[in-house]
Amino acid sequence: MKNSLPIVAAWLASVALIAPPSFAQQTAAPKAASATTARANEAVAKAMAMNDKQDYEDANRGKLAELKEPLVKAADGSVVWNTQRYDFVKGDAPVTVNPSLWREQKLNTAQGLFKVTDGIYQIRGYDVANMTLVEGATGWIVIDTLLSAEMSSAGFKLAMQTLRSTKPVVAVIYTHSHADHYGGARGVIDEADVRSGKVKVIAPDGFMENAVAENVLAGNAMSRRANYMYGVSLPAGDKGSVGTGLGLALSKGSLGLIPPTQIIKKSGEELTIDGVRIQFQMAQGSEAPSEMMFYFPDKKALCLSEVATKLMHNIYTIRGAKTRDALAWSKYINETLDLFPDADVAFASHNWPTWGNANIRQYLANQRDTYRFLNDRALHLANQGQTMTEIGNAEFFPKGLATDSSSHGYYGTLSHNLRAVYNFYLGYYDANPATLAPLLPTESAKRYVAAMGGEAAVLANGRKAFADGDYRWVVELVNHVVFANPGNVEARALQAEALEQLGYQAESATWRNAYLMGAFELRNGAQDIGASSGGPDTVRGMTNELLFDYIALRLDHEKTDGMKAAISMVFTDISEVWALELSNSVLNNTKGRVLKNPDLTLTLTRPAFLAMLLQGKKLPELVQAGMVKLDGDPKPLAAVFANIVDFDRKFNIVTP
C-alpha cells in the first residue's frame, strides 16, 4: 500500500499539545526597536498604574526551595527545561518589550517550591503551568501534573526532599482537559497503581473525550499555529521569547495521558480523599470544554483551575480552537463567589495565588466582570451594526479593570476576544454581500498590487508608512506584495521588520510571539515544530469513532471520487461492530450497523487495531499470527488507505 494505518498513526501520535523541539538559532538577526516603538513602550510605562508591590509579594510568597541543577534532562540526555532560560527578565523593560508584558513575565519567573497554606504547596516557574501538592493523612494529592513527565517528576522530587516527606501520591486531580495539566502524569504516578486502585485519578465529566478530541480533527493546523502562539521556534531574549503570559514556556519532554478512574459530574459533589475534604464546582465550557474548580473547606483554600488567572484569558485562542462562551464563563465565577464565600487563599493552575478574603473576592469580581464585559460589549456593538473588524478595534475598557493587571490581555486580548464573542453568536460573516465570496488571497493580492501601480509603488508606500511608524498599515499593505510575489526579497524584509515592531509593542505574549514568528519565518522559512512524544497515550484514549473520523478526513477526496467500499469491522473484545462505507468521496462510520454484503470483514480486537496504529504491525503479519481474521476481498481496504493524505506540518502562514 502507498499509505497504511501505521502512517495514519504517525500523525495521530503527534496531535497532543506540542512540546518545544530542538531548533537552529535563527540565521537572520532581529532588528532593533524603532524610535516609534521606543516612544510607544515608554508611554505604556508612564501610564501603568497597577499594584506592583502586592503582586510581587504574592508571586514570591512562601518560597521554600528551587532546583539546584539548571538543566532538567530526559533519559536520552535532551534538555527538558533550562531554569536559567529567562534569567534576563529582570530590571526595567528593554525598549523591545512592552513594559506591561515585561512586568507580568517578571512575576512569572518566580520559580521553585512555594507554600500556599498549611498542607498545600505549588511547583511554579518550571513549565507553562503549575503543579499543586496537597498533603493527606497517608500520601499526597497532586493537582495537575505539568506538561511533561520529566518536569513533573523533578518538581515532585524537589518538594519531597524539601518537605522531608516519603509519602506516596495517593490521588491525581486533573482540573481540565488541556495537555499542560495532565501530560506529566507518568512523572508522579504509575498506571499500574491506578489500575489496581492504589491511586485515584479524578477529572471533570467529559475529560477523556475532550482531552483527546480537541487536538485531533484539526490537530495538524492547530499544532502549526501553536508554534506562532507560543513562539516555540523563537530563542529566548529581549528580541524574542519572553514567555507566554500564562507562564514561561512549554517544557520539552514526554507527554502521557492516564485515564481518570473517578468522574465529577455536578457542582456540589464532595469527596474525602485521604482525609482531605474537597467540594467541587463544575465550569464546563468556560476556559475548557471539560473543567472544574474545587474548595478545601477545612483549609479555606480555593482551587480556581484555569477559570480565573492573573490575566485576561482567551475567548478564542489564536492557535485555533472552538470559541468559548464568555457569558457562561462569567457566571461560573459569579457562582464561585456564593459557593465559597469564606476562602482565605485562592490558587490556580497558572500564575500565583491570592491571599486574604477581601482580596480574593475583589479579584474574582473583576475576573467575572472582565468576561461579562467582553460578552456584553461585543453584543452591544454588534446590535448597533458594527462588524467583527470594527468591534476588534474598539478601545473602551472599564477603568476599574484597566487598573487591575489580572484583567490585562497578556494571553488573550481585548481585540481578539471581542471578535470571538461576535463570532460565537454571529459567525465570521459581516452581512456585507461584498465579503460573501472573497477572492483567493494570492489572486486578490495580485489585483491590489496592480491597482496600486505595481510592486515598486506599493513598497515605496510601505517604506514611507514604516518611517511614519504606521506598522499596522505596513503589514496590511506589504502583505499584498508578499502574496502576489513571495519571491520579492525586499517585500519580505519590510514585512518582517514591521511585524517585528508590532511584536515589540504588544502587551499580549501570544500576539508578540505571533508577530515575531511571522518575522522569523519571512526571513528564515517555515519551521518544523517537531512531534510530541506523548502521542501513543492520546491514540489509546481515542474512541473507535474518533479514529475512523480522523482517517476519513485524511482521504484524498478527488482521487476517491466514484469509488465504493463496504467494510465491516468486528471487535470481539469490546463487542462492537463498525460499518465503514466509502461513497461520494466520504468514509462514513456507523457503530452497530451490520452490512448485508460487505466487501471485507475484519474480525479483530481493539489491541490488534492499536498494534497496527501504534506499533507498525502489518495486516498480513497480524492475520498470520491469528490476531486478525479476514473474510472477503481486501482490495477495497487497500484502496481506501492508498488514498490517505499525509498533512504537511510546515504549511506556509505568512507566505502563500
**Inter-residue contact 579 to 547 (CB < 8 Å):** no
Neighbours of 172 (CB within 10 A): 26
d(CA 579, CA 245): 47
Report the share of the chain in percent with pLDDT over 70: 95
pLDDT band at 490 (very low <50, low <70, confident <90, very high): very high
Neighbours of 346 (CB within 10 A): 26
Neighbours of 184 (CB within 10 A): 34
Q: Is 142 left (phi over 0), alpha (psi -120 to 50) or beta?
A: beta
In the predicted model, is pLDDT for residue 537 greater than 70? yes
d(CA 653, CA 520): 12
Neighbours of 547 (CB within 10 A): 21
| Among the ranges given (33-37, 208-212, 514-518), the one the predictor scored with the smallest mean pLDDT | 208-212
In the predicted model, is pLDDT for residue 61 greater than 90? yes
pLDDT digits (tens, 9 = 90+) for 177-204: 999 999 999 999 999 999 999 999 999 9
Mean pLDDT of 529-551: 77
pLDDT digits (tens, 9 = 90+) for 308-317: 999 999 999 9
Q: Which amino acid is at 322?
A: K
pLDDT digits (tens, 9 = 90+) for 545-600: 999 998 899 999 999 999 999 999 999 999 999 999 999 999 999 999 999 999 99
Of 18 and 637, the structure prediction assigns the larger pLDDT to: 637
Domains of the chain: 5-10+534-641 (3.30.1050.10), 17-421 (3.60.15.30), 435-524 (1.25.40.880)
Q: CA–CA distance from 630 to each of 356, 442, 564, 598 (Å)?
A: 67, 49, 19, 12
Helix (H) / strand (E) containing 388 = helix 388-392
Q: CA–CA distance from 118 to each of 41, 187, 301, 388, 486 (Å)?
A: 41, 24, 10, 48, 60
**Inter-residue contact 312 to 303 (CB < 8 Å):** no
DSSP string, 414-442: HHHHHHHHHHHHH-S--S-GGGSSPPPHH
Place of cell 501513543: 536
Report the share of the chain in percent with pLDDT over 90: 85
Which grid cell is 63?
518560597
Q: pTM here?
A: 0.93
DSSP string, 55-120: HHHHHHTTEEE--SSSEEE-TTS-EEEETTTTTT--SSPPTTS-HHHHHHHHHHT--EEEEEETTE
pLDDT digits (tens, 9 = 90+) for 345-385: 999 999 999 999 999 999 999 999 999 999 999 999 999 99
Three-point CA angle 491, 496, 498, nearest 5° = 95
Which pLDDT score, from 0 to 100, does residue 613 have? Answer: 79
pLDDT band at 637 (very low <50, low <70, confident <90, very high): confident
Q: How many residues does the chain have?
A: 656
**Inter-residue contact 342 to 300 (CB < 8 Å):** yes
Which pLDDT score, from 0 to 100, does residue 19 have? Answer: 36
Which grid cell is 230?
507560543
Q: CA–CA distance from 178 to each of 146, 215, 255, 257, 267 (Å)?
A: 10, 10, 12, 11, 20
Mean pLDDT of 539-547: 88
**Inter-residue contact 577 to 568 (CB < 8 Å):** yes
Which grid cell is 371?
468576561
Using N-to-C axis directions, what is the helix angle for 489-505 and 35-47, rounded to 10°? 20
Cβ neighbours of residue 427 closer than 8 Å, sequence gap 6 or more: none
Q: Is 252 left (phi over 0), alpha (psi -120 to 50) or beta?
A: beta
Coil vs helix vs strand at 496: helix
Mean pLDDT of 201-211: 95
- The mean pLDDT of the chain is 92
Helix (H) / strand (E) containing 141 = strand 140-143
pLDDT digits (tens, 9 = 90+) for 451-485: 999 999 999 999 999 999 999 999 999 999 999 99
Which grid cell is 511?
500576539
pLDDT digits (tens, 9 = 90+) for 1-54: 233 333 333 323 332 333 333 334 446 889 999 999 999 999 999 998 766 689
Give strand pairing partners of 543.
none
d(CA 170, CA 113): 20
Mean pLDDT of 278-302: 98
Alpha helices in 452-543 (DSSP H): 455-467, 471-484, 489-505, 509-524, 535-541
Give strand pairing partners of 113.
65, 123
**Inter-residue contact 286 to 267 (CB < 8 Å):** no
Q: Which amino acid is at 125?
A: G
Neighbours of 521 (CB within 10 A): 23
pLDDT band at 530 (very low <50, low <70, confident <90, very high): low
Which pLDDT score, from 0 to 100, does residue 615 have? Answer: 81
